[in-house]
Structure 1
Amino acid sequence: MRKLNLLFIFIVLLSLGACRSDPDTAAEITIDNSVKTGKVTGKVMSQNATKPIGGASIFTFDDKYKIYYTTSDADGNFTLEAPVGNHTIHIQTGNGSNFRTEISANVKNNETLNLETNQTKLNQVAKIAYVKGTYDKIEDIIQTLGYTATEITNNDLANLTTVAQYDIIFLNCGSRNNYSSNPTLYSVIDTNLATFVANGGSIYASDWDVAYLVGGTTNTTNCSLAGGFVPDTKLCSKNIGNVGPVGATVNNAGLTTALGFNTLSIDYDLGAWQKITNYDPAYWEVLVKETSSNDALMIRTNHFTATGVPTTPIGNAPTTTFTTVCITLPGNIQISISVPQVLVPYLVALGATVGACSGSASSGYIYYTTFHNHATGNIGNAGGILQYVILNL
């Protein structure tokens, strides 16, 4: 009988032990893994707070380095869902290497934090230069946004040390002058521009200044002319355009978001403008095209490569603490952004890759518009396109 009582007590004790939970196990079971969030709203503005900036990237990260991302609409407005806590809100255009702003924000659960316009102004990080032209003044548009650019000359372009000081160079239509009197000078310029872009510098050329890209004197009259640095197989442009308005369609989603429209009329107010007659679609992205003919009117590439080009630090590259990475968002949408270097290993561990999402690893951008950019000229809706070009180089 005693043995039976002892057995009974032993079974009872076992059953009590089985009902008792391990404290750590219980904590894991009851943890709520959902992330508490709030909203951050604001209006992205140019540096002088006079122009709203559409199509800007706004993002932050939680403590596990998950990205929270949105874009500004054509009026610059945005609403970002962000994790609760103290976080850095990033505002960028392009891949963030040339224009970006960082804001410290305390996000509270289920509350909306409204950022002031003095916080959401898009800052210039890039060192910008321009070559004065005969027909264009992109520098005027740069200045209307509150940004600064330094005037340089063709003699400066022939000095690689000078060129390498800048992140972006704007080539105004008509600046490639006096070619015939000094072809050696332009040969050096072409080599320097190739080095500049191959090492991450970005270039914008307008109308006749396509000659810097593909050769020719003040403009291009045929394919495969002497000079330039973009391979002849990639682009041909001839000055055969006619005076008058051209119906155009915006062919890029990011540009459409920034503008708030996807059709416009571009007034070609000067005769013999450069008409793109042939381009490599694998090399160039068409941003704006003629509606009726589908001819390219505005193109860009970051696929430039060149053999034998020296490795040269460009612009802010030697001192920057930011790195460009490619992150894939839900829906398999890829974005190129610049983040503090300290974040890179953690983002890579989550699947990000170092460098832009597309293009050659070290190439900067080349933008080319067949239309003009004079701020006081008859550019109409194209003005918004040119602002986009400036901020996305």
Structure 2
Amino acid sequence: MKKHYFLILLCVFTLLTNCSGGDDAPAVTENTNTAVKTGKLTGKVMSKNGTKPIGGASVFTFDDKYKIYYTTSDSEGNFTLDAPAGNRTIYIQTGNGTNFRTEISAVVKDNETVALDANQTKLNQVAKIAYVKGTYDKIEDIIQILGYTATEITNNDLANMTTISQYDIIFLNCGSRSSTTNPALYTAIDANLAIFVANGGSIYASDWDVAYLVGGTTNTNNCALPGGFVPDSKLCSKNIGSSGNVAATVNNAGLTSALGFNTLNLDYDLGAWQKIINYDPAYWEVLVKETSSNDALMIRTNHFAATGIPVTPIGNAANTTFVTVCVTLPGNIQISLSVPQAVVPFLVALGATVGPCSGASNSGYIYYTTFHNHASGNIGNAGVILQYVILNL
């Protein structure tokens, strides 16, 4: 018992000695961290020709320790970015930044607001874009209205992997997969589109051109038709939609913010259109739906993957020094961005991951709209949605 009592006294004496503030006591280090000085940058994101405001664009920069400062443009293209003071590179991007992006050198002034010149904030085209001419649609006109360029290709070109691999995006206008096309081409086209998307290329198809995805030679009337490259279990569409106006709801928060509205009327101006009968909700994201029935009208996925697909360089991927990363913002919000390769290790050290935040790691996007994409006619607010599609593939 005495031994235990002696040990207790020794411990108490040791504690008192360490707390006495003697010469051997550890020094208290003063916190020398100071708040980062910041200013504001304002501007308006516009299309390349300066005619169309771009909503939903990512605007961001980094401080000296690679902390991200991020905002998005509103439906009129306007943004205000809080940024660290000093010489900064400002990045403006749509989608994940692989196809459309702009870099700006700017001096951010402490506690001041600097307005960026409109010529600086135009969104540049990085991607090489192709389109297949359709019977009913002209997505190429909308691309041109924005000030961007696209090259016309044919079904013969789609059957040639060497030809299509030079592009990043391919637009398939309604009616371009025609029954008059040589049926022998479809097997090669379907295989090539699978390779294209699996290696990061993106495609957009409208209405009857769902046949490129799920099979058939033109408009489809049955599920599980021969051909296509998207598994039959993932999507079924039938040519049973009736003409007329359909009240629609935008089902994606990012798209709603970019557009500035979440309801619209879609004019189905032909006698029949491809109605989505069923789809795999784990594979497809619904961007626009019919208000009354909740039927999907516009869907997208970047979950495409298949076994035995050869690794093939697509578009500008082999030439770029930018890398797609997933960054987590405050509030546990994850965003996919393209950043210079040199900064990737620093961002990874702060918790970012290489690759997109969701979807298959190498997959490009597939967008499908049941409605049309011609620049003239009664497509109404669908025109603004299609601008978003172009910029976010």
TM-score range, shorter chain: over 0.9
Quick check: 1:116 aligned with 2:98? no
1:319 corresponding residue in structure 2? 319
- TM-score with structure 2 setting the length: 0.93
Residues 311-364 of structure 1: CA distance to partner in whole angstroms, max 9, x if unpaired? 000000110000000001011100000000000000001110000000001000
What residue is the counterpart of 1:191 in the other structure? 191
| Mapping of residues 63-82 of structure 1, within 5 Å | 63-82=64-83
Alpha-carbon distance, 1:378 to partner: 1.1
Determine if the alignment matches structure 1 residue 203 to structure 2 residue 214.
Answer: no
Residue in structure 1 matched with residue 171 of structure 2 by the alignment:
170
1:385 aligns with 2:385: yes
1:351–1:32 Cα change, 3 Å: closer
Matches within 5 A, 1:183-262: 183-262=183-262
In structure 1, C-alpha distance between the alignment counterparts of 2:56 and 2:75, rounded to whole Å: 7
Aligned pairs for 1:6-45 (under 5 A) are: 29=30, 31-45=32-46
Q: Distance in 2 between matches of 1:32 and 1:330?
A: 21
Report the counterpart of residue 296 of structure 2 in structure 1.
296
- Equivalent position of 2:105 in the other structure: 104
In structure 2, C-alpha distance between the alignment counterparts of 1:381 and 1:126, rounded to whole Å: 25
The structure-2 alpha-carbon separation of the partners of 1:30 and 1:191, relative to structure 1 and needing over 3 Å to count, comes to closer
% identity of equivalent residues: 81
**1:231-380 matches, cutoff 5 A:** 231-380=231-380
Alignment partners' CA distance in 1, 2:271 and 2:44: 40
Tell me the CA shift for residue 33 of structure 1. Answer: 2.2
**Structure 2 Cα separation of the partners of residues 119 and 107 of structure 1:** 15
Give CA deviations for 1:346-390 in whole Å, capped at 9, x if unaligned. Answer: 000111000000000100000000000000121100011000000
Runs of 4+ in 1 over 3 A off after TM superposition: none
The one-letter amino acid of 1:159's match is N
Rounded to whole Å, the distance in 1 between the matches of 2:33 and 2:358 is 38
| Residue identity in the other structure for 1:182 | N
Q: Which amino acid is 1:217 matched to?
A: T
Report the Cα offset of residue 217 of structure 1: 1.1
TM-score (norm 1): 0.93
Q: 1:113 to 1:240 in 2, by over 3 A?
A: same
Query: What is the RMSD computed on CA atoms of the aligned residues?
Result: 1.7
Aligned equivalents of 1:31, 1:348: Cα separation in 2 = 26
Partner of 1:227, secondary structure, is coil
Query: Any stretches of 5+ residues in structure 2 without a counterpart?
Result: 1-21
Deviation at 1:29, TM superposition (A): 2.0
Task: Please show how residues 143-158 of structure 1 align to structure 2 within 5 Å.
Answer: 143-158=144-159
- Shift in Å, 1:59: 0.3
After TM superposition, give the deviation of residue 279 of structure 1 in Å.
Answer: 0.2
Aligned residues between the structures: 374
The Cα offsets for residues 4-60 of structure 1, whole Å up to 9 and x where unpaired, read as xxxxxxxxxxxxx96xx98xx7xx626242111000000000000000000000000
Shift of 1:307: 1.0
Counterpart-to-counterpart distance in 1, 2:182 and 2:77: 46
How big is each residue's C-alpha offset from its partner over 1:186-226, in whole Å with a ceiling of 9 and x where there is no partner?
11000000000000000000000000000011111110000
Where 1:346 maps in the other structure, the secondary structure is helix
| Structure-2 residue corresponding to 1:92 | 93
Name structure 1 gaps, 5 residues minimum.
1-16
Deviation at 1:177, TM superposition (A): 1.2
Tell me how far apart the structure 1 counterparts of residues 185 and 217 of structure 2 sit (CA, whole Å). Answer: 12
Q: Partner of 2:57 in structure 1?
A: 56
Alpha-carbon offset, residue 113 of structure 1: 0.9
Q: List per-residue Cα deviations over 1:94-132 (Å, max 9, x = no partner).
A: 000000000001101000110011000000000000000
CA distance in 1, matches of 2:237, 2:221: 7
Distance of 1:87 and 1:347 partners within structure 2: 16
Helix, strand or coil: the match of 1:308?
A: coil
Alpha-carbon distance in structure 2 between the residues aligned to 1:370 and 1:246: 11
Structure 2 residue identity aligned to 1:332: N
Query: Aligned letter for 2:130?
Result: A
User: Structure 1 CA distance, aligned partners of 2:172 and 2:256?
Assistant: 24
Distance in structure 2 (CA, Å) of the matches to 1:271 and 1:69: 46
Amino acid at match of 2:231: P
Distance 1:46 1:247 in 2: 29
